[in-house]
Amino acid sequence: MTEFMQSLPDGWTIYLWMVAAGGIIIAAIIGIRWAYQNEQFDEDIKYLVFDENDKDKMSPEEFAKFQEVNAAQEKRRTEVLAEKAAARRAEQGR
């Protein structure tokens, strides 16, 4: 292996770095695409750490936003679970 490495012309390592950089960029694009498709870019996620007992710690506007976000998340969760159950039933029916 050492002989092979020494027989390569000068400047070959730049190509190795370019391949590694390309792989990193492709992995980042795939990761961002996955995150987007799985609804990971939700700016209201900070409201999901609260519960009804935190009402006194929030302003009325924040509490209203918390309730709105929580209701939307619960609705979406129900939809996703129904989709998964339907897919499971369809798979078992094959």
Residue 27: is it exposed, middle or buried by C-beta count within 10 angstroms (0-12/13-18/19+)?
A: exposed
For residues 67 and 48, what is the distance between their CA atoms, to the nearest angstrom? Answer: 9
For residues 21 and 92, what is the distance between their CA atoms, to the nearest angstrom? Answer: 43
Helices marked H in 8-59? 13-37
What are the structure tokens assigned to 69, written together?
């976000």
For residues 38 and 52, what is the distance between their CA atoms, to the nearest angstrom? Answer: 27
For residue 45, is pLDDT > 80? no
Note the pLDDT of residue 24: 98
Per cent of the chain over pLDDT 90 is: 38
Helices marked H in 38-94? 60-92
What are the structure tokens assigned to 30, written together?
């795939």
To the nearest whole number, what is the mean pLDDT of the chain?
88
The pLDDT tens digits for 4-22 are: 878 878 888 899 999 999 9
For residue 1, is pLDDT > 70? yes
Band (87; pLDDT cuts 50, 70, 90): very high
The pLDDT tens digits for 15-43 are: 999 999 999 999 999 999 999 998 888 77
pTM of the full structure:
0.57
